[in-house]
Structures are given as C-alpha cells and as structure tokens.
Structure 1
Amino acid sequence: MATAIVKDAGKAVLDKSKIWKVIGASSAGTLIEWYDFYIFGSLATIISAQFFPKGHETVALLSTLATFATGFIVRPFGALVFGRVGDVVGRKYAFMVTLLIMGLATTAIGLLPGYETIGIFAPILLLILRLLQGLALGGEYGGAATYVAEHSPDGKRGFYTSFIQTTATLGLFVSLGVILLTRLTMGEEAFKDWGWRIPFLLSVVLVLVSYLIRRRMEESPVFVQMKAEGKSSKSPLRDSFLHPENRRLVILALLGATAGQGVVWYTGQFYALYYLQTVLKVDFVVANQIIAVALLFATPFFIVFGGLSDRIGRKNIMMAGCLIAALTYYPIYRAMEFYSGWNPADPLATAVNPNVMMLTLLVFIQVLYVTMVYGPIAAFLVELFPTQIRYTSMSLPYHIGNGVFGGLVPFIGTAIVAATGNHFAGLIYPIGIALMTFVIGMIFIKEDRNVRWH
C-alpha cells in the first residue's frame, strides 16, 4: 500500500529466538492493564451503590456506566500522547510509563472513600481516576502490539500478535475470576460493603511484577534501525493526521475495521454481562460464571484466527465476523431471554432456574465473533502504517473504535432499553455499527499482509 513515508527503514536483523520472551513480557503487562481497566466494568452494579446517592438505582447504574465510558472516550487522547512518545523516544519507554499510571490509578480506586463518607467528591475523584486509567490504556495497547509485530518474522505477524489480542479477554477473565473468588470467600454482604476493593488493591502487586519483567526488555529492532538511519519522524502527529494519504488510512482503519470490531467486542463480553444481570435478573455470581466460562473456552480462537489471517488475509476474517454478528445478535438475545427463565411480564422478578449451559453457549458464540474481528486486528493495523508513525497512527483509530464506538455499547444499550422499555432495543447500536464497518471495509480496505520488514 502506498504511503507518503518510506514504508519500513532498512532490513532489521531479527533474533527469532527472542520472540517468545518478547510476547511473554509484552502480554503479561498488557493483560494486567486490561485487568485493571475491566475490574471497574465488572463491578459496575456494586460501584454504583458505593459512589452515587442511594434511592435512584437506574440513575446510579447509568452514572456508573457513563463514568466507565469516560475511560474509553479519553483513550484516543492517551493514544496521541503516548503514541508520539513511542514513535519519537521508543516503544518500550512509552508502555513502561503507561503501566505505572494504570497501576497507581487502579490501586487508588480501591482506597477511595464512598459517597456516604465524602459526598460529591466521591464520584468526582472516581471520574478522575477513571480518566487516568483511560489515558494509560490509550498508550499501552499500541505500544505492545507494535513492539511484538516489529519482533515477528514476516508471514507470521498475525499469529504472533494474536497472543497480545488474547490479553484483553484474559484480563477480563482474570478480573471476573478474582471478583468471584473474593465474593465467594467473603459472602455477599461483606463483599458489597468493602470486599469489592480487594481486586483493585491487588493491582499494585501485579503491576510491580510486570514492571520488573519489562525493565529487561530491549527496544524493537525495526525501531532501532530506523533511528540509526535517521529516518524517524520529528512530528508523528503531523505526519499521521495532516498528510492526506496517511490521514485517509487512519479514517479507513477506524470506520472500516476498528469501529465494528469494537462494538462486537463489547457486545459479546460486557453488554452480555450487563444484559444477564440488569435485564434478565440472573444472579450476580451465576452471570459472572457464565461469562468467565465462555471466555475461557473461546480465548484459544484468538490464536486460531490470528494464524489463519496469515494465510487467507486479515480483512476477510474481520469482515465476516462483523457481518455474522450483526445478523445473529437479535436471535441470540431472544434465546438468552428464553433460557434465562426470566418472565418479561414481571420485569422486577429474578430469573428462575436459568439454563446455565445454554446461556454459556450463547455467550460463547458471541465471544467467538470477538475472536474473529479481534484476533487479526493488531497485525492488520501495524501493517497499514509506516514504521515512522506506526505507534501514533494505529493507536488513534484503534482506541476510537474500541474506546468510543465499543466502550459506549453498555451505556448506549442500557440507555436505549431504559428509554424505550424494549429490552432488545439496545442491540440496534452494535448491529448498525457492525454493518457500517462491513460495508466500508469490503469496499475500501485493501489487504496488506504480505508486506516484508526483515
């Protein structure tokens, strides 16, 4: 694909024996950052009671989801700030800083007093810490994906970067596991009162371990050679967004790939959890167990579709995932209602004898769609942009697609259901965005998986 900047500087020498160490160190840190980021979403129903006034449960939940969403909305700004650092100073330095910011913000949430203690300052401080989390994650993912891709041999980037792709789902899985273990150990009342803080406080240990691992990593060989040859960009923001050809690639990456990928990701994992808990009134523990088991069984398919994309192309798999998801979400969620045992005629009643196996299968299918659209996306994005502006250029459309389009799925879906009274109406948003991405991606996106860097 033609670009205004030399596609890749030089022929960097790759030590393939280091690739698994690179993947392990990068994935460990990224998994921890996702764990930190998603504890908040996994505990949204409990956090709403802690940091907002009592007596208006729906308003409190929507306020919590809005606070949750701000972390996504601010991610593109983190992508710009740390993307520039990563393209100018180095990939490693950028995602070392983001790891520390994320860990400190998450730990601070676990120490934050509730509304009954400090009043309006509680939700304000919660919002500030959530914004810091979003800024950190905005710089983390692009660095980790770029770093692994630039260590990967030609023809294998889809396979190797797919391990980074598993970290988002594994981070959610670990957050659910820690929450369930804490909840079952402490009991419901103690967990709701103060035990919910434990998963946040554990972050400080995880971040410290990951930081020590990442300190030993070397810079990307592709980046080092580019710097040695004096071909780095002095202004990656300008080169990414003001040059017409590169700006066009950023827009296509957003509307033709990451927007649809984002809504499929958050519908299949987060909206499914909210739907089980808040609409179908499935027990908190049972709903989290359903999501956790579905994630566990579906996670290997990130590797399957990442590796397959090296052979048949990234675009084909991602577009198929968007289309299939859009066509099947409605019947899947009707089936979830049927197997939940919930009675729509009595919306306040809890689900009675839910068929856990069928509900898990239905969530698993949704997560399978996630693996189709998400497994190949890192390789697709890093191959789309030249080395000099890769960190900046790929991070912005990724985090707008995931952070804004995807991150708003739970809030928009819940708000539409509350406004219309139709508990299926929340699916309109992810279905519409997924179809938009399919159409734009099929028409305008070109495959670029055969580009050689080494």
Structure 2
Amino acid sequence: MTDAAAAEAHTVDRKDRLVILASSVGTVIEWYDFYLYGSLAAIITAQFFSGVNETTGFIFALMAFAAGFAVRPFGAIFFGRMGDLWGRKNTFLVTMLLMGLSTFVVGLLPSYAAIGVAAPVVLVLMRLVQGLALGGEYGGAATYVAEHAPPGKRGFYTSFIQITATAGLMLSLLVILGVRLLVGEEAFKEWGWRIPFLVSILLLGVSLWIRLKLSESPAFQRMKAEGKGSTTPLKDSFGKWPNLKLVLLALFGLAAGQAVVWYTGQFYALFFIEKTLRVDPALANVLVAIALFLATPFFVFWGWLSDKIGRKPIILAGCLLAAMTYFPLFHALTGAANPQLARANATAPVIVIADPADCSFQFDPIGKTVFDSSCDLAKSHLAKAGVSYKTGEAPAGSVASVRIGDMIVPGFVGDAAGRAAWEKTLGEALTAAGYPAKADSALVDKPRVVGILFLLVLYVTMVYGPIAAALVEMFPTNIRYTSMSLPYHIGNGWFGGFLPTTAFAIVAATGNIYYGLWYPVAIAVLTVIVGGLFIRDRKDVDLHA
C-alpha cells in the first residue's frame, strides 16, 4: 500500500485522539493564561500603572503585554534545544508548569497603590516567565502532533493545535464575562479581575494530568534509536547557512505575515472596539466571542484543505486578502459599532491647529514627563476621547486651537483649574458636533459587527490553520523543535506581539484612528512577496527522513 493510500485508510483512533487532545488542551490553557492579560489591559493599567498619566499608563500596560512576546524567541531557543536533546513530551510539561504558576501569581499580586513600583516590576517579571514558557510550548506541541500524524494528514492533525490559541482567547473572554456578571462591574474592577487568573491553577492541574498519559513522539524515539540525534541543535539550526536560510524564509515568507494577520483579527480588533470606538467592554467581549466561536471550525477546514492543495497558497491568500481589505473593514466596523462617531468624523472633522514646535510625541518611557503645551493638551484630550484628527500649522508661538467642523475652540495654557474648565468646553463642543463620549450600546449593529469580526477571524484561520504543518515540514527531525520554534516565535512574539503597541503609537502620532493598520498591511504584503517567490511547499515530505 502506498503512503497516500495508507493515509486515506488511516482513521483517527483512540491513541491519535489522546495525542491531539493532550497537546491541544494543554495549549488551550497556556493561551488562556496568556490572553487574560491582553483582555484585561485597561483594568491592569489602573491596578498596576496608576502612578503615571492615563495615556502613558495604557501604553505601559500594552508594553508589559508585549514584554511576554519579546522573550518568546529566547524561550523557543532554550526549550527548543531541550526538546531536540531530551524529548518533546518532557519539555512541554515544563513549559506548561511555568506558564500556569506565573499566571496564578498575577492573581495574587498587590496593586500599585499597595506596594508602589514593585507591583509593575513583579507583574512584568511574571509576563517574562509566561513568554519564555510559551516560547517553548508551541513548537513542542506542533512537532509532537505532526510526528504522530500519518502521511497526508499532518495539516488536519496539527490544525487542532491551531484552534487552541483562539479557543484560549475565547475561554478567557467567557470567564471574564462570567465573573463580571457574577460580581458586578465595580467589584470586578476592584478585585474580581483576579478570579480568572486564580482559577488557572485548576486548569493547570487538569492539563498536567492529561499530558502525563502521553508517550514520546515516534519520530524522536526512532531518531534516538538510530543514533541520529543532534548534540548541538543550536549550532546545527542557526550556525549552518542551508538551515539558517530556511529559518529566515520561514520567518519572512510564512510566520511574520501569519502573525500580524492573527493579532489584527483577534487582539487589535478587540482593542480597537474597546479603546477607540469606546464600546462597553462586556458587550465587546460578547461580540468577539461569538465571532471566534463561528470561525473556529475553519482552522480545521483549512488544515484539512492544506493536505490536498498545499500550505503555501492558503497562508499567502489569507495574508493578501487581509492586506487588501483591512482599511474598508475597520471603517465599516466603526460605522457598525459606533455610528455616532462615524457620522461625526464625516460631518465635523477635527483639526488641531498648532505651532509644530509646540507639539511633542506623547510617549514617556519613565512616566515623568509632563505634556502641558497647548498642542499636547489638545491632542491628549482628543486621543482619550477616541476622536480622529488632523494637524494644521499655526504661526510660531501661537496657542493651539481645535477646529471641530465650523467651530473653533481656543487652546489653553494655564493652571489645573483652568484646564478642567477648558476640557469641559472642548468636551461640550465635541458633543455638540455629534461626537459621543462612548458608544451607545442600543445603537451598536450587533449582527454587522459580528459579521465583520467573523471575516477578520476567517483570515486568521486561513493563515494559522496550516502554519504548524508548514513549519514542521521545513526542518529535519534532529533539529526540528529548535528550528521551527524560533521563526514562529519571532514572527508571533515580535512582529505580532508588538502589533497593538506599534499600531496605537502610530495612531497617537498621526491622529488617525485607522493608521495603525499600515503596520500589519506592510508585513502581510512582505510575506506574500517573500513566500510567493522563495517558499517551496513541502506537504508530502517524509518527516522521518
């Protein structure tokens, strides 16, 4: 019987189901732990970064979120080496234990008000531990499942791992929503937010119990039995140009584009709805959870289809579609989620007219700079209100003013009392022009919002469903864990993980609420070009060779 015939004849038996379940459930829990932080960024800002101004605090919170992603490649190197030397199973048991315990500790941390600067320091430390652990987790789970899969079904088998990231996010949103409804919004902001972090210890126990039932990967066992293992997986992966070239192609031709599409469709969309469109957080979580639930089966569909037509065309098509449609989709999202804001943007555009020398780039890495020029005060207030604006040039030395449609609100320079009065005047002018303080939940076109979010997540399923199989197939068994983990986690940890911070920084610098999308669009186009020209599809390669 040929390999193709054997693959068609093979059915998913009890052993296969245990392999997929154990790898997937453990990874769901790890992603659940990791995404709790991202979903609660606004509350964590208030709890751990209350010693700085609101805008800087929110950027700090996003940076702390990104810190976990920043160290993922280092986790990939360390645990990837361990996995190639000592085995896939033992390695991802260690990574899961580190992930679960660090998340549990976050639920116990005192706030900034209780212990001062030690609170954000310990929080970031826990984020770093989470990032290191997750850096070693994914490569192990993907390699383990792929090495168990029969020929011709690797895309299908590994697609169940691809579900886990979305399932983990969806689980975190549902737990957060459940706790919010149970204790009430005020109690949730004060102490209830800790509960989702604390219950992760129970999920950790379940995952460990399931994973302990596993045996080692057959490809790894065969490699060890034949004495073909690498004693220097780091050197063999990155110190030799033929394999290093594959690592670079995997990064720029697959993983980078996949990452930005993934984070735009799931995380940036949530941040955009909550922070920019100012939709009620509980409602935003429900709408995103519904879209995730509807789109999740497509991870398996695209994984299955990639076994038939290849990984490359599906991944690159997802990147290209995303790059072509992000701007119209996010404009449509504004109209559906906050129609009052969309109408005001169209009928009463806002322009900050200021001396360029009076305007600063409002990001303070240590939280000590006071942005009190008339230009900075105007832009800061508009940014907090989620108002898109343009900048016009005024004569040197003049006080900034804000044009709202046909109205002009004079700028302000002075004491705190005068500033409060000026902010009230500006707020009243924005309200008079139709800009809402927050989205009216009754006016949110919920089916339309879910439809747009579903399409964004559908792109995610296209790029993410086949990616595990595509990366595993690029590298030999003796250095597979190390080699595939690094490009995946540079892509997802750096290109993807820094997306919310980078996008919001671009928005803050330009004043345009949509300009943050240029970042994922540019990276997705880069991947389409590199992947289209230089990546060879390897769906039929023998993983045991």
Q: Once the 2 structures are TM-superposed, how far is the Cα of residue 16 of structure 1 from its aligned partner?
A: 6.3
Letter in 2 for 1:350: K
Q: Which residue of 2 aligns with 1:399?
A: 489
| Distance across 2 between alignment mates of 1:93 and 1:327 | 43
Q: Once the 2 structures are TM-superposed, how far is the Cα of residue 56 of structure 1 from its aligned partner?
A: 1.8
| Distance across 1 between alignment mates of 2:268 and 2:79 | 29
Q: Which residue of 2 aligns with 1:437?
A: 527
Q: Which residue of 1 aligns with 2:438?
A: 350
Q: Which residue of 1 aligns with 2:139?
A: 142
Letter in 1 for 2:233: P
| Distance across 1 between alignment mates of 2:329 and 2:483 | 36
Helix, strand or coil at the partner of 1:389: helix
Percent identity, please: 59
Letter in 1 for 2:151: D
Q: Once the 2 structures are TM-superposed, how far is the Cα of residue 300 of structure 1 from its aligned partner?
A: 0.1
Runs of 4+ in 1 over 6 A off after TM superposition: none
Letter in 2 for 1:438: V
| Distance across 2 between alignment mates of 1:131 and 1:20 | 32
Mapped pair 1:39 → 2:36: yes
Q: Which residue of 2 aligns with 1:369?
A: 459
| Distance across 2 between alignment mates of 1:302 and 1:125 | 36
Q: Which residue of 1 aligns with 2:426?
A: none
Counterparts of 1:21-420 in structure 2, within 5 Å, are 21-53=18-50, 56-340=53-337, 341-343=339-341, 344=345, 346=430, 349-352=437-440, 353-420=443-510
Q: Once the 2 structures are TM-superposed, how far is the Cα of residue 213 of structure 1 from its aligned partner?
A: 1.1
Q: Once the 2 structures are TM-superposed, how far is the Cα of residue 269 of structure 1 from its aligned partner?
A: 0.4
| Distance across 1 between alignment mates of 2:196 and 2:47 | 15
Whether the 8 Å CA contact 1:115–1:122 is kept in 2: the answer is: yes
Letter in 2 for 1:272: A
Q: Where do 5+ consecutive residues of structure 1 fail to align?
A: 1-13
Whether the 8 Å CA contact 1:318–1:376 is kept in 2: the answer is: yes
Larger Rg: 2
Letter in 2 for 1:166: I
- Do the aligned partners of residues 16 and 302 (structure 1) sit closer, same or farther apart at CA in structure 2, a change above 3 Å counting? closer
Whether the 8 Å CA contact 2:143–2:472 is kept in 1: the answer is: yes
Q: Once the 2 structures are TM-superposed, how far is the Cα of residue 339 of structure 1 from its aligned partner?
A: 1.1
| Distance across 2 between alignment mates of 1:389 and 1:382 | 10
| Distance across 1 between alignment mates of 2:448 and 2:118 | 43
| Distance across 1 between alignment mates of 2:56 and 2:312 | 40
Whether the 8 Å CA contact 1:280–1:342 is kept in 2: the answer is: no
Letter in 1 for 2:208: Y
Whether the 8 Å CA contact 2:51–2:112 is kept in 1: the answer is: no
Helix, strand or coil at the partner of 1:385: coil
More helix by share: 1
Whether the 8 Å CA contact 2:503–2:516 is kept in 1: the answer is: yes
Q: TM-score, normalised by structure 2?
A: 0.80
Helix, strand or coil at the partner of 1:111: coil
- Do the aligned partners of residues 224 and 435 (structure 1) sit closer, same or farther apart at CA in structure 2, a change above 3 Å counting? same
Whether the 8 Å CA contact 2:73–2:493 is kept in 1: the answer is: yes
Whether the 8 Å CA contact 2:473–2:543 is kept in 1: the answer is: no
| Distance across 2 between alignment mates of 1:452 and 1:188 | 54
Whether the 8 Å CA contact 1:183–1:195 is kept in 2: the answer is: yes
Q: TM-score, normalised by structure 1?
A: 0.96
Residues 167-189 of structure 1: CA deviation (Å, up to 9, x unaligned): 00000000000000000111110
Q: Which residue of 2 aligns with 1:450?
A: 540
| Distance across 2 between alignment mates of 1:133 and 1:355 | 37
Helix, strand or coil at the partner of 1:301: helix
